[in-house]
A and B are shown apart, each in its own frame.
Chain A
Amino acid sequence: MELTSLSVAALQEKLRNREVSPPEVLRSLEARIAQVDPAIHGYLSRDFDAALKLAESADVSLPLGGVPIAIKDVINVNGEPCTAASRILQGYRSNYDATVIQKLKAAGAIPFGRCNLDEFAMGSSTENSAFGHTRNPWDTSRIPGGSSGGSAAVVAADEAFASLGSDTGGSIRQPASHCGCVGLKPTYGRVSRFGLIAFASSLDQIGPFTKTVRDSALLLNAISGRDPMDSTSLAEPVPDYTAQLGRDLKGVKLGMPREYFIEGIDPQVDAAVRAAIRHYESLGAEIVEISLPNTEHAVGVYYIIATAEASANLARFDGVRYGHRAEGAANLLDQYGRTREEGFGPEVKRRIILGTYVLSSGYYDAYYLRAQKVRTLIRRDFTAAFEKVDAIVAPTSPEVAFKVGDRNDDPLKMYLADIFTIAANLAGICGLTLPCGFASVDGQKLPIGLQLLGKPFEEASLLRIADAYERSTDWHRQRPPV
């Protein structure tokens, strides 16, 4: 087995047994990236020398000692670029570490490589990057999903052991599903957002992409917890997320929401998810049919709230303090307008316009306030469901990865790609996707993801339920042809 195809846990064992050293691991990874990334383009940049320095002094006895971890290019790492895949941040260099990076470093991990994404995390295909598409390792004519498409693709293609991404409406779970990885969106407030470039502040969470459920737990252990630099992070206790792994599912109740098994879903996805649910039954879980009646409103609510928050967050890109500045402006207003025209790509502009409109005088109540009220109804759906069940099982995405270029001129169709992931962000609950099968399309195998949604701050229970499935299946062991 190639070193780079190991899980984080397996790599750690080799590191701790001194079978391999952190610099050797990093060199193997660099060689693998040089070999496969030209076809994938999962990385926007990487600083091998800086990582090597950290590897040379890495303490392998630490929880993630000597393990390189790839970072979505929207999380600040001191001394490195952080472009958000936008021209407006081309040339920007971070001069501080995001809290998650401080925590990873404290756990001995080595941040290595900046992953491609949809510009400012806005998109579902990574085609909105200003610096080129990322390709799906299972079929390079297809998208890897998005917005964290680079973070998903590099883990799937064994050019990273694990990575961090961010999830605002499914940006971890949907690409993880399309690339065949484990992707976890923690509960809102579980992980500090300090140092994450803000898209929609009431929805954004950072989370891991990994090859196994155990690795997901290991990374969550490292990055969780209250942070004085993020007032929305909560002081809930951080358990050892690996502690419940290996347990059986006796007494566990899983809810199957009827609104997530609807017409229009890809029949191969539907079949794989239903088979996974039957598998859960055979493992001893009780399956309960439930209803989340406001599901159909989630996409509409999301595109009002997320764009409203984005239009406010992106006001900071004004060409004054950092990033691109238009040359030769007549006055300050002209400088703002032209800097933003030149710096932002089409999807970001669309969302700024939409967000500005729904917040504007005369429309605020009709759009924004109404969306916030429907958001309450969506939250209540989950609160009611979790009185009956421990977790919810559903498809992560209604489809498998689509072809590059398929949806470029149809934003609404692109927005509907997130139909099953968005509600978790609106409700603030945790969600996880793991591989549950493959669809066969044009002779290619394409991964299908099973989504588990859990109660707020019950990631440990979600990971336990995911782990029981993973231990008794081998979907996660299959590697793409790249």
Chain B
Amino acid sequence: MSAAFDVRYTAQLARLHLSEAEIAKFQAQLSQVLAYVEKLEKVDVSGVEPTAHANAVFNVFREDAARDWFTPEDALANAPRSANHLFIVPKVIE
């Protein structure tokens, strides 16, 4: 399985640019990590349910009530760019 591992393609999925040097280095390092984790193939997991969380908690509801939280100013306080109570981003629609 690790033979199919392609850092360049995976980085694209992760929206992460990498330098050529990083691609080469991560390809080697992570192939080693994948070869290690592939030992799990040998474990018999037939009929075993997956564990997503240590405590199985389902459907936690709360009152849908308004409460004090961030003002627009608070929400935008850490924005790299903002104006008129909005985040400024590069143009998305042509």
Q: Which residues of A contact B (CB under 8 A)?
A: 91-93, 95-96, 187-189, 202, 228, 231-232, 234, 294, 297, 299-301, 303-304, 311, 315, 318-325, 329-338, 340-341, 344, 346, 349-350, 352-354, 356-357, 360, 363, 366-367, 369-377, 379, 411-412, 415, 426-429, 456
Residues on B with C-beta less than 8 A from A426 are 51, 54
Q: A300-B37, A372-B52, A373-B49 are in contact. Are A333 and B15 (CB under 8 A)?
A: yes
Q: Is B85 engaged at the interface, CB distance under 8 Å to the other chain?
A: no
- Determine the residue in chain A with the shortest Cβ distance to B12: A337
B2-37 CB mask vs A (1 if < 8 Å, else 0) is 001101001101111111001000100110111011
- Determine the residue in chain A with the shortest Cβ distance to B42: A297
Bound Cα distance A209, B36 (Å): 32
A300 near B39: Cβ-Cβ < 8 Å:
yes
B54 near A231: Cβ-Cβ < 8 Å:
no
Residues on A with C-beta less than 8 A from B84 are none
B40 near A297: Cβ-Cβ < 8 Å:
yes
17 contacts between A and B (CB under 8 A): A188-B54, A189-B54, A189-B57, A234-B55, A299-B36, A303-B36, A303-B37, A321-B75, A353-B26, A354-B33, A372-B52, A373-B48, A377-B45, A411-B29, A411-B32, A428-B54, A429-B54
Q: Is B1 engaged at the interface, CB distance under 8 Å to the other chain?
A: yes
Nearest chain B CB to A289's CB is how many angstroms away? 23
Q: Is B43 engaged at the interface, CB distance under 8 Å to the other chain?
A: yes
Bound Cα distance A366, B87 (Å): 40
The number of A-B residue pairs with CB atoms under 8 Å apart is 174
Residues on B with C-beta less than 8 A from A319 are 80
Nearest chain B CB to A190's CB is how many angstroms away? 10
Bound Cα distance A189, B19 (Å): 40
Q: Is B92 engaged at the interface, CB distance under 8 Å to the other chain?
A: yes
- Determine the residue in chain A with the shortest Cβ distance to B70: A95
Bound Cα distance A374, B89 (Å): 43
B58-87 CB mask vs A (1 if < 8 Å, else 0) is 001010000000100011011111000001
A374 near B43: Cβ-Cβ < 8 Å:
yes
A322 near B57: Cβ-Cβ < 8 Å:
no
Q: Which residues of B contact A (CB under 8 A)?
A: 1, 4-5, 7, 10-11, 13-19, 22, 26, 29-30, 32-34, 36-37, 39-41, 43, 45, 48-55, 57, 60, 62, 70, 74-75, 77-81, 87, 89-92
Q: Which of B14, B70, B92 contacts A356 (CB 8 A)?
A: B14
A360 near B13: Cβ-Cβ < 8 Å:
yes
Residues on B with C-beta less than 8 A from A234 are 55, 57
For the complex with contacts A95-B78, A367-B37, A379-B54, 12 further pairs of A-B residues with Cβ separation under 8 Å are A304-B37, A325-B81, A335-B89, A346-B22, A350-B26, A366-B41, A367-B1, A370-B41, A374-B43, A412-B36, A427-B54, A456-B55
A95 near B40: Cβ-Cβ < 8 Å:
no
Q: A340-B15, A360-B13 are in contact. Are A369 and B50 (CB under 8 A)?
A: yes
Residues on A with C-beta less than 8 A from B60 are 231
Residues on B with C-beta less than 8 A from A344 are 16
Q: A300-B39, A375-B51, A377-B45 are in contact. Are A338 and B17 (CB under 8 A)?
A: yes
Nearest chain B CB to A309's CB is how many angstroms away? 10
Nearest chain A CB to B22's CB is how many angstroms away? 7
Residues on A with C-beta less than 8 A from B22 are 346, 349
Bound Cα distance A300, B32 (Å): 12
Bound Cα distance A428, B55 (Å): 7
Residues on B with C-beta less than 8 A from A299 are 36
B40 near A337: Cβ-Cβ < 8 Å:
no
B50 near A375: Cβ-Cβ < 8 Å:
yes
Q: A354-B30, A411-B29 are in contact. Are A340 and B17 (CB under 8 A)?
A: yes
Residues on A with C-beta less than 8 A from B43 are 294, 297, 370, 374, 377
Residues on A with C-beta less than 8 A from B15 are 315, 318, 333, 336-337, 340
B39 near A323: Cβ-Cβ < 8 Å:
no
A353 near B37: Cβ-Cβ < 8 Å:
no
9 nearest interchain CB pairs? A428-B54, A372-B50, A322-B78, A325-B80, A231-B60, A337-B17, A341-B17, A373-B45, A188-B54
Q: A297-B39, A300-B37, A332-B89 are in contact. Are A363 and B1 (CB under 8 A)?
A: yes
Q: A353-B30, A376-B49 are in contact. Are A370 and B40 (CB under 8 A)?
A: yes
Q: A228-B62, A372-B52, A374-B43 are in contact. Are A350 and B14 (CB under 8 A)?
A: no
Bound Cα distance A415, B18 (Å): 23
B16 near A341: Cβ-Cβ < 8 Å:
yes
Q: A341-B16, A357-B5, A411-B29 are in contact. Are A371 and B90 (CB under 8 A)?
A: no
Q: Which of B13, B40, B80 contacts A371 (CB 8 A)?
A: B40
- Determine the residue in chain A with the shortest Cβ distance to B6: A357
Bound Cα distance A324, B80 (Å): 7
- Determine the residue in chain A with the shortest Cβ distance to B16: A340
Nearest chain B CB to A412's CB is how many angstroms away? 5
Residues on B with C-beta less than 8 A from A341 are 16-19
Nearest chain A CB to B40's CB is how many angstroms away? 5
Residues on B with C-beta less than 8 A from A371 are 37, 40
Bound Cα distance A323, B79 (Å): 7
B79 near A374: Cβ-Cβ < 8 Å:
no
A321 near B79: Cβ-Cβ < 8 Å:
yes
Q: Which of B29, B40, B57, B80 contacts A323 (CB 8 A)?
A: B80
Bound Cα distance A473, B28 (Å): 47
